[in-house]
Amino acid sequence: MDVPPRLVIDDGAIARNVERIIRTTGTPLMAVLKADAFGHGPQADVVLGAGARSIGVTTIEEALALRSSGTVAPILSWLNPVDADWAGAVSSDIDLAVPGLPHLFAIAGAAIAIGRPARVHLHLDVGMSRDGAAPDDWKTLMHFAAEWERRGAIRVVGVMAHLSSAQNPDDEETTVERMRFVNGCRLALRAGLRPQARHLAATSAALSRPDTRFDLTRVGAGLFGIDPSGRMELEHAMTLDAPIVSVRDVRAGTGVGYGLSHRTDRDTRLALVPVGYGDGVPRAASHRASVSVRGTRRPVVGVISMDQLVVDVGDLGVREGERAVVFGPGTHGEPTAREWAGWAGTIEHEIVTGIGSRIHREHVPVTRPEAVAGPTAVVGANR
């Protein structure tokens, strides 16, 4: 097999999404590159080059990996166990989200031990009962944060929260949660804190609710062409394609795959494509999915296996060695990650973050090199 199954990632599409989002929001952008940039691989230089001011990730490990590969822009890490490597994070100038008192004390202790203040963002839960401090705990958290700040252990540089229902721009819940956030920011001021960065909006709210933008937006999905609020035309950056390993001509009524859950309804040709649920092509999409062969949609037949799927290519005359596009931006009629998500009963996020390590990655670089070099240098110089 000359060119193996591969995921082609159009870095230029990501850069254009960044520019479009900043133009639309008029607000500094924290580019969220968690989970390997939603499965898109190294993208820090691309997003910073396109104008993002900082980077957001989940774990300290992700943040340190970015530092190791040369990222000098501010990085925030927001989800870590209470015994995480706080000293390592502070030494590497990683901002840390604080979701409650145990984390606050652990971070302050580590900062004192290494003699360097931790930059922290107080993380408030404004409704979704997930990460962040519960409203009943805000006052105590802020009281102790102010105390540790006075002692020089921490600097509270931000207050953050995450919205539960922003994918529906008209949902009243966003208004309620925004008010809770405003109230939380007020409490922080009253406790004597002076956070410069109040941030609430992720992709959906950033694009559809201007009143949630505050000092910066924390955008992940949108960078990669996903707008759950459906407000903006963004570009998908991924194309997954694979060679056809073999073809065979079969009679009408031939069973296909485990359990023979599909039988051909006519004489036809079947093509074998070597990707399956072990590579992140969801088995739940069986009996609904299609792929693109020679620019036309052909149905996936039988159940999707771990390593392979079968396509009914009909009378196209398809030969082994031709390629099947599993999904892409949709610009050439191929299925999109959104369609696969629909077939599998999930969301696009799960499709793009789920592509397995067995698939080769290829990046199409941003075509304007100066766009990568320029603003990155400015971010570095401003620090």
- Residues that constitute the known binding site for substrate: 130, 306
Minimum CB distance to ligand PLP, residue 353 (Å)? 10
CA atoms within 13 A on the CB side of 203: 23
* Options 5, 11, 15, 34, the catalytic residue: 34
Query: Catalytic residue at 277?
Result: no
CB of 86 to ligand PLP, least distance (A): 19
Closer residue to ligand PLP (CB): 16 or 298: 16
* Minimal distance, residue 375 CB to ligand PLP, in Å: 21
DSSP string, 365-377: --S-HHHHHHHHH
The per-residue DSSP string of 343-367 comes to HHTS-HHHHHHT--TTSEEEEE--S
Whose Cβ is closer to ligand PLP: residue 96's or residue 273's?
A: 96
Which residues of this chain interact with ligand PLP, rule CB under 6 A? 32, 34, 78, 162, 202-203, 218-222
Task: Give the H/E segment covering residue 62.
Answer: helix 60-68
Q: Report the binding-site residues.
A: 130, 306
245: left (phi over 0), alpha (psi -120 to 50) or beta: alpha
Q: Which of 1, 179, 252, 258 is catalytic?
A: 258
Using CA atoms, how far apart are residues 131 and 54, in angstroms rounded to an integer?
21
How far apart CA 139 and CA 183 sit, in angstroms, is 11
Residue closer to ligand PLP by CB (options 241, 348) is 348
**Based on CB atoms, which residue is closest to ligand PLP, 99 or 243?**
99
Listing DSSP states for 4-35 in one string gives: -SEEEEEHHHHHHHHHHHHHHH-S-EEEE-HH
Distance, CA of 160 to CA of 133 (rounded, Å) = 10
**Closest approach of ligand PLP to the CB of residue 222, in Å:** 6
Rounded to the nearest angstrom, the gap between the alpha carbon of residue 280 and the centroid of all alpha carbons in its chain is 16
Residue 2 β-bridge partners: none
Q: State which residue has the least CB distance to ligand PLP.
A: 220
Toward ligand PLP, which CB reaches closer, 31 or 145? 31
CB of 17 to ligand PLP, least distance (A): 11
Q: Any catalytic annotation for residue 139?
A: no
Q: Alpha-carbon distance 33 to 16, whole Å?
A: 16
Taking the C-alpha atoms of residue 165 and residue 299, their distance in angstroms, rounded to an integer, is 35
Amino acid at 233: E
Report, as residue numbers or ranges, the catalytic residues: 34, 258
